[in-house]
Amino acid sequence: MERPRRFPQGRRAQAKQTTPLTPAGVGATRVKIPRRSRESQGQGILGDMRYPLRSLSPLALLLVAAPLAAAQEVLYSIDGDSPDERFGLAVSGVGDLNSDGHDDFIVGACQDSTNGNQAGEVRVFSGVDGSLMFRVLGESSGDFFGNAVSGAGDVNADGTPDFIVGAIWDANSTGNFAGSASVFSGVDGSLIHKFEGGENDFFGTRVSGVGDVNSDGHADVVVGAVQWLVTIGKGYAEVFSGADGSVLYTLTGLAVGDQFGYYVDDVGDMDSDGIGDIAVGAWQADVAGIQSGQAFVFSGVDGTEIHRFSTQAGDALGCSVGGAGDVDNDSIPDIIVGASGADDNGNYSGAAYVYSGATGALIHSFAGRSEGDQFGNCVSGAGDVDGDGTPDLLVGGINDDYAGTDGGAATIFSGATGDVLAYLPASAGGESMGSNVQEAGDVDNDGLGDFLVGAMRAGVGDPGRAVLYAGRACAAFNYCEGLVNSTGSRADISWSGSTSHLANALTLSASGLPSNQLGLFFYGPNQIQIAFGNGLRCVGGAVFRLNPPQQISPFGDISRNVDFNAAPMSSGTGLVLPGSRWNFQFWYRDPIAGGANFNLSNGLTAPICP
């Protein structure tokens, strides 16, 4: 008998009120986000191209904030060419293809119909100016070419990195839904290798470069195949030689229906043998209960198992996997794994877990904001976004509702602390922001990690969108949530100037406020999210007021220059020093709203730089 499907099948039901998150656990940082009711929706990687779904902590809920105009710089925002082409379902950095010193990037549009109905297409863009470098078309109707993309490294050893593309529905010579994966030259987009699966393999579900695992001077690649639909198999992941396209070895799932190979990625050298290793997700595995899911790390040399991770029934652990970089500073790279079915904050609220590459121990745990968010549908290392020397983490929540139903969002977490660095919601409902998230390298050459977020239904006619964000040191980021006040909007806190202690030029601002009322900026060391008055308190621990209270302007906004050299920031427990991080919020009176007669803005977290 076929087991029940845990990925969604329809549109969402009405939303419930969300609840705050709170960090949990000793030794590991757990971030949770609240729940909301929703019908199951999407159809995994088949059909509607959605993904599976579970939860997190106060930091995560806190991360529910307004768009980060000043906080997170957008380098490029690129929309698809035609309606409903799913541009942004797959995104990836590809390295410097044109030797201009800037990393470039690739975006898939698997339902593009230029070369036949849903034949698919991928587009490669310049990191210098976001211009189109070249495009590669799917071969025939229904291929879904571009459902998965990845940088492949220098496969043909010509000195330029190449890229790999999946075509999950390619009905090639071996049968329907066989699927394929193709490696293309980074120089001109010409074909280097094409690999094909067997009938109903859905070969090319995910693809990734894996480095040179056989030490022959050519970068190699891995391709996942879930073997699902008519003839259900265990799933597999195949590692191919970049030199000649031969199969180096095949990794196979443990049980029929596991969908082993649903996600694959290069995670770096975890076993210290000098060769990068490979992560594979099996999100439908039943090892810890129905659809608990499972994730594995295998030796890049020969496919020997290094780590195996599982959680509990329904979590869909392994719906996404990604290399995290060395998060715990032990000289061994770590791994991040998505579990979009986790339910700490409601069914399918979702979660993501960071595990040690050395021991497999849990380092951080993050949870989705609300029921049905499917937080963790995609995960990735982000590089060092905030300039603290530790790589950070990126998690998508494709059905997050902050910007409207199914708007989606992506969240950046500090690798060092697990705190929310930035929450990046969609601009409107229905965009599916967080369809995919990936590290992009250092596109702008500032020494910090940049990253890509896909929104496969954004834009007029739902063409989809890919957004490339810049990493920034010393930047403040919004987190947490401001609730609606008597103006009908939420109050948002923002910043301008500098977070440098020496410059002493930080200005805090708030907008969306009831006019002519009194309010007060305050700060503290911790991120929380708890009900307080008519809103949510986002700042925890000892709280310090920036007196005196101020009167909001007739236009509903207010600003305050912060002085690091004056009380309470200059001494005592409120002392603000370079290298510290503080969280800010604005409290204000709102008698027209009734209730407690006061409310609060969302939160702002700021690193204090020298």
Choosing from 448, 473, 498, the residue where a domain stops is 473
Choosing from 473, 495, 514, the residue where a domain stops is 473
Do 462 and 493 belong together in one domain? Answer: no
Do 293 and 320 belong together in one domain? Answer: yes
Q: Show the tokens assigned to 70.
A: 């000043």
Do 208 and 339 belong together in one domain? Answer: yes
Name the band, by pLDDT with cuts 50, 70 and 90, for residue 65: very low
Q: State the Cα–Cα distance between residues 133 and 121, nearest whole angstrom.
A: 14
Do 431 and 553 belong together in one domain? Answer: no
Instruction: Express as a percent the part of the chain with pLDDT over 90.
Output: 80
CATH number at residue 340: 2.130.10.130
pTM of the model: 0.80
Sheet holding 334-339, edge to edge: 29-31, 362-367, 351-355, 334-339, 317-325
Q: State the Cα–Cα distance between residues 429 and 561, nearest whole angstrom.
A: 35
Do 456 and 506 belong together in one domain? Answer: no
**For the chain, what is the domain count?**
2
Do 213 and 164 belong together in one domain? Answer: yes
Average pLDDT, the chain: 88
Q: State the Cα–Cα distance between residues 450 and 283, nearest whole angstrom.
A: 28
| Structural domain contains residue 12 | no
* Residue-number span of the structural domain to which 543 is assigned: 480-607
Q: State the Cα–Cα distance between residues 507 and 560, nearest whole angstrom.
A: 6
Average pLDDT over residues 394-399: 98
* Maximum pairwise Cα distance, the chain: 75
CATH number at residue 569: 2.60.40.10
Side-chain half-sphere of 476: how many Cα atoms within 13 Å?
Answer: 26
Average pLDDT over residues 529-556: 97
| Structural domain contains residue 6 | no
Which amino acid, residue 607? P
Tokens 């996997």 belong to residue: 321
| Structural domain contains residue 25 | no
Rounded to a whole number of angstroms, the distance between the first and last alpha carbons of the chain is 63
Q: Are 55 and 343 in contact (CB under 8 A)?
A: yes
Average pLDDT over residues 189-215: 97
Q: Show the tokens assigned to 406.
A: 């199914």
Choosing from 423, 450, 473, the residue where a domain stops is 473
Do 293 and 201 belong together in one domain? Answer: yes
Q: What are phi and psi of 130, to 5 degrees?
A: 75, 10
Length of the chain: 610
Do 408 and 500 belong together in one domain? Answer: no
Sheet holding 420-425, edge to edge: 375-383, 392-397, 409-413, 420-425
For the cut 90, the answer to whether the pLDDT of residue 504 exceeds it is yes
Do 420 and 557 belong together in one domain? Answer: no
Top-confidence residue, 171 or 225: 225
Do 307 and 396 belong together in one domain? Answer: yes
Q: pLDDT digits over 581-606, tens only?
A: 999 999 999 999 999 999 999 999 99
Do 536 and 404 belong together in one domain? Answer: no
Contacts of 389 (CB under 8 A, 6+ apart): none
